[in-house]
Amino acid sequence: MMKKKLLSIAILSWFILFAQTSIVSAQLPNFNLYFNSRFYDLGSPGMVILDIQTFDVAFDISRIGITLYFPKTDGTIFETEFFGENYGETPLQIPTDNKTSLPIGFKIPERTDLKSGYFSYLFEVDIRPQNTTTYSHETYGPEEATSYGEYCIIFNPEGFPSPDPTSEPTPTPVPTNPTPIPTSTPTPTPENTDGNQPEDTIVLTVTEVALIVTIVIAVVLGTIAVWALKRK
């Protein structure tokens, strides 16, 4: 009987604790965060405006801020330091039914390996309902950075992808005039302009040839006749 009572008390205590935790979680402030600009350069400062709205519960905040995440050109992610406020033992008190804006400054890293384009942030806050002793660590994100509904962009001239090489047309070679090779030109035979043949050239006419042939025949016939007479 005693065991049943103890079990009932434990279950009831767990439900009471769970109900209180659920009520507190449901009454956390609304956090609306936006960046002050859409475009940032490497090394440029920036600011995040954090709108906080509470309802019927007042809160203490001991630490609040963001961490930025930038894609790198090698496909990895670069995580920055924590940008925000750490109030320590003097927490920031947010009263009930209140709206307030909290600026948080940051700086874009001056790194040449960051990729141009969108970047993200992680929002963190250590918060507790007033009149309590325990802070809870709440996180939101990572989410892409926006400025009034438009995505924020960083510009890194070295972070843009290199353009694909295009094949340039092969230049047409300019024909060059080769140096002409000198060729030996035959020396022309000098023409005889006065109509006479050169001295070393003998030219016989038809009459002269006929006379020579007649003389040769006569000599041959005479030789034969002399030889015949001698035989008799």
Residue 96 in any domain: the answer is: yes
Kindly report, residue by residue over 71-114, the tens digit of the pLDDT.
999 999 999 999 999 998 899 999 999 999 999 999 999 999 99
Kindly report, residue by residue over 17-71, the tens digit of the pLDDT.
433 333 344 478 999 999 999 999 999 999 999 999 999 999 999 999 999 999 9
What is the pLDDT confidence band of residue 227, given thresholds at 50, 70 and 90?
confident
Q: Which residue has the tokens 């960083």?
A: 154
Give the pLDDT of residue 208: 66
Say if residues 104 and 84 touch (Cβ distance below 8 Å): yes
Write out the two tokens for 68. 């930025």
Residue 232 in any domain: the answer is: no
Residue 62 in any domain: the answer is: yes
Residue 202 makes CB contacts below 8 A (sequence gap 6+) with: none
Instruction: Indicate if the pLDDT at residue 124 is higher than 80.
Output: yes
Instruction: Indicate if the pLDDT at residue 13 is higher than 90.
Output: no
Measured distance CA(63)–CA(86) in Å, rounded: 4
Say if residues 126 and 137 touch (Cβ distance below 8 Å): yes
Write out the two tokens for 150. 């438009």
Percent share of the chain, pLDDT over 90: 53
Strands 30-35 and 92-94, by their bridges, are unpaired
Residue 50 in any domain: the answer is: yes
Residue 130 in any domain: the answer is: yes
Residue 127 in any domain: the answer is: yes
Give the pLDDT of residue 204: 54
Residue 118: domain span: 27-159
Give the pLDDT of residue 200: 47
Q: What is the average per-residue pLDDT within 128-151?
A: 94
Domain count, the chain: 1
Kindly report, residue by residue over 170-206, the tens digit of the pLDDT.
555 555 555 555 555 555 544 554 545 444 444 556 5
Residue 22 in any domain: the answer is: no
Residue 108 in any domain: the answer is: yes
What is the pLDDT confidence band of residue 3, given thresholds at 50, 70 and 90?
very low
Which CATH number belongs to the domain containing residue 150 in this structure?
Answer: 2.60.40.640
